[in-house]
């Protein structure tokens, strides 16, 4: 139990290696190993949540080197919460990927599942580490895996991935440079140690420069508007399983790292008073929420629509941070879970439609709801959650964010959240009304276009793809209904440093 913090990333790393070796021997074996490894990780993560709830936080000194010199891993309620999200979604996508990759990119499948495990390992490592430099290492592991993964897909994918690589490397360097400044000023890399030494140095230029660089780097990684430019293309052209894994998780973990550093390393006071970045982030978030939603309305390629929707949804998390009060940050943290589940469900459902019809242009989806009923039912549930219809998950993150905004007297953000709900409803109902449109046909005197031939021949995807989609749709509902438990047990301890 005490080794859990280390077991989690190590399982995934070793799994990646084994999966590659097994895959070179037999492609099916490679994927089987990948599913097994992610299942073990998911089980360990749920165990970690239980352990943290029962015994409090678990600290682990890597290689028995005592911190602050050695690298320390920490499982507290927040990191356990995030790791559970990462690994459970990772497992579901991994199961889905078996058939999906075979259908979309059959020749690269052997390399994709190990890379997906590497990505998960990187994300889990970023979450669990309590060392600012070690965080960079895992950030790069995750990013390198993501660059490789995203270059697999449609024809423009390699180019989009190259652009992502360049911007991502710049972001990584910003972060590294920022950590360098902090190390230079304090002589330590351990987060708890940094937090103890920083307050007296708050006004030094090195610390301020370091903080700005870290925020800029992670802001780029989490695609916070207007630093989001890399995102739409890579989410559009990647393989379904890959975007289904990266879109829900990657930007969220960057957001988590930012929240962690701002609250755990710098104090909220530093962030709101010494270097008043909080309002800046809140306004950037507001811009992102409106811009992302508005752009999503204009899209016809469903994947690009979801990509822009991600730009707006990630901004909800940033808004929670920017408002810097308890309720709003709870909303932001809850949105990490909610958006991960909703977006994974949506991307996988789109992948399911692609698998059966090859259609990604929503204008050609007419009548799909009657031919692929389960896939589209899951899509609709996730879409309603994105709009924020209770009792789905999406409603409750908006509820807390609205509470936080009203409590802070920030009515602008209330308007922004409401406006985004309207825009989200527009772009999702454009799809929903089309897929459930089943015109009676010309013989009944109605002159309306009928379904496309591909749609008429469509059906739900095979079970190994459909079940993860349905599981995610159920999770969308469960995360909503049980949000109070999550908030009281996992999130409230994490936001205690903040003012209410």
Partner 1 sequence: MDAVLSLRPLLAILVSLGAAVLIIACGRRPNLREGWTLLASLLKFGLVASMVPWVLQGRSVEWALPALAPGVALALRVDAAGLLFALSASFLWILTSFYSIGYMRGAHERHQTRFFALLALCLSATMGIAFAANLLTFFLFYEILSFATYFLVVHKGTAKAISSGRKYLAFALLGGLSLLVAVVWTAVLQQGAIDFRPGGFLDAAIGRGTLQALFALFALGFGVKAGVMPLHSWLPAAMVAPTPVSALLHAVAVVKAGVFGFVRLIGFIFGPELLHQTGLFIILAWTAGATIVLASLLAMRQDDLKARLAYSTVGHLSYIVLATALLTPTALLGGAFHIVTHAAMKITLFFCAGAIYVHTGLTRVSQLDGLGRRMPVTMGAFAIGAIGLAGIPGTAGFVSKLLIARGTLEAGQPVFLGILLLSGLLNAGYLFPVVTRAFFRDGPAAGGKGCDEASWLMVGALVVTGGLSLLLGLYPDGLFHFFSVAGRAAGAIVAGGAP
Residues near partner 1 (CB under 8 A): 370, 384, 389-391, 395-396, 399-400, 402-403, 406-407, 414, 418, 421-422, 425, 429, 433, 436-440, 446, 448, 483-485, 487-488, 492
| Nearest distance in Å: CB 407, partner 1 | 5
To 5 degrees, how large is the angle CA 59–CA 62–CA 68? 70
Burial class (CB in 10 A: 0-12, 13-18, 19+), 374: middle
Tell me, what DSSP letter sits at residue 496? T
Count of residues making up the chain: 500
Question: Please, which residue, 240 or 483, has the CB nearer to partner 1?
Answer: 483
DSSP string over 387-431: HT-TTSHHHHHHHHHHHHHHHTT-HHHHHHHHHHHHHHHHHHHHH
Residues 480, 395: Cα–Cα separation, whole Å: 7
| Nearest distance in Å: CB 293, partner 1 | 13
C-alpha pair distances (Å), 228 with each of 171, 291, 315, 347, 386: 12, 11, 10, 19, 20
Would you report the helix, strand and coil content of the chain in percent, each value rounded to 5? 80, 5, 20
Question: Please, which residue, 90 or 331, has the CB nearer to partner 1?
Answer: 331
Nearest CA to 368 among 290, 241, 461?
461
The secondary element (H helix, E strand) that includes residue 19 is helix 4-25
Residues 336, 73: Cα–Cα separation, whole Å: 21
DSSP string over 321-358: HHH-SHHHHHHHHHHHHHHHHHHHHHHHHHHHHHHHH-
Residues 24, 114: Cα–Cα separation, whole Å: 11
Residue for token pair 């070690």: 134
The secondary element (H helix, E strand) that includes residue 288 is helix 277-297
Question: Please, which residue, 63 or 485, has the CB nearer to partner 1?
Answer: 485
């Amino acid at each position: 139990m005490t080794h859990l913090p280390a077991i989690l990333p190590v399982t995934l790393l070793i799994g990646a290696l084994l999966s590659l070796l097994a895959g070179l021997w037999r492609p099916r074996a490679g994927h089987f190993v990948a599913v097994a490894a992610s299942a073990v990780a998911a089980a360990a993560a749920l165990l970690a949540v239980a352990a943290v709830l029962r015994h409090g936080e678990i600290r682990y000194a890597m290689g028995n080197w005592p911190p602050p010199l050695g690298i320390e891993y920490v499982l507290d309620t927040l990191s356990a919460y995030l790791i559970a999200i990462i690994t459970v979604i990772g497992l579901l996508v991994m199961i889905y990927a078996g058939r999906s990759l075979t259908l979309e990119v059959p020749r690269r499948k052997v390399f994709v599942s190990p890379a997906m495990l590497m990505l998960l390992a990187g994300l889990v490592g970023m979450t669990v580490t309590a060392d600012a430099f070690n965080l960079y290492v895992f950030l790069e592991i995750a990013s390198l895996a993501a660059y490789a993964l995203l270059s697999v897909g449609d024809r423009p994918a390699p180019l989009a991935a190259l652009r992502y690589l360049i911007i991502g490397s710049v972001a990584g360097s910003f972060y590294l440079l920022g950590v360098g400044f902090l190390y230079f000023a304090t002589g330590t890399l351990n987060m708890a140690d940094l937090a103890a030494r920083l307050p007296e140095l708050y006004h030094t230029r090195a610390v301020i420069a370091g903080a700005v660089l870290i925020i800029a780097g992670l802001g780029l990684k989490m695609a916070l508007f207007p630093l989001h430019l890399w995102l739409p293309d890579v989410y559009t052209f990647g393989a379904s399983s890959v975007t289904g894994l990266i879109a829900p998780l990657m930007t969220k973990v960057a957001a988590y790292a930012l929240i962690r550093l701002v609250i755990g390393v710098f104090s909220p006071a530093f962030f709101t008073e010494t270097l008043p970045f909080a309002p800046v982030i809140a306004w950037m978030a507001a811009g992102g929420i409106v811009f992302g939603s508005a752009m999503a309305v204009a899209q016809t390629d469903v994947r690009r629509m979801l990509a822009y929707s991600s730009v707006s949804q990630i901004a909800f998390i940033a808004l929670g941070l920017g408002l810097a009060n308890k309720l709003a940050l709870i909303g932001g943290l809850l949105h990490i879970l909610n958006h991960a589940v909703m977006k994974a469900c949506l991307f996988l459902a789109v992948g399911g439609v692609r698998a059966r019809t090859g259609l990604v242009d929503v204008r050609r989806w007419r009548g799909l709801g009657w031919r692929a009923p389960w896939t589209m039912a899951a899509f609709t549930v996730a879409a309603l959650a994105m709009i924020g219809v209770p009792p789905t998950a999406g409603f409750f993150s908006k509820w807390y964010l609205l509470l936080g905004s009203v409590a802070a007297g920030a009515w602008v953000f209330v308007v922004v959240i409401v406006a985004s709900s309207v825009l989200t409803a527009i772009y999702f109902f454009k799809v929903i009304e089309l897929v459930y449109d089943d015109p009676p046909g010309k013989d009944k005197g109605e002159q309306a276009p009928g379904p496309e031939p591909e749609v008429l021949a469509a059906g739900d995807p095979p079970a190994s793809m459909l079940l993860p989609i349905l599981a995610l749709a159920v999770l969308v509902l469960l995360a909503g209904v049980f949000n109070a438990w999550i908030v009281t047990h996992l999130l409230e301890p994490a936001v205690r440093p903040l003012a209410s």
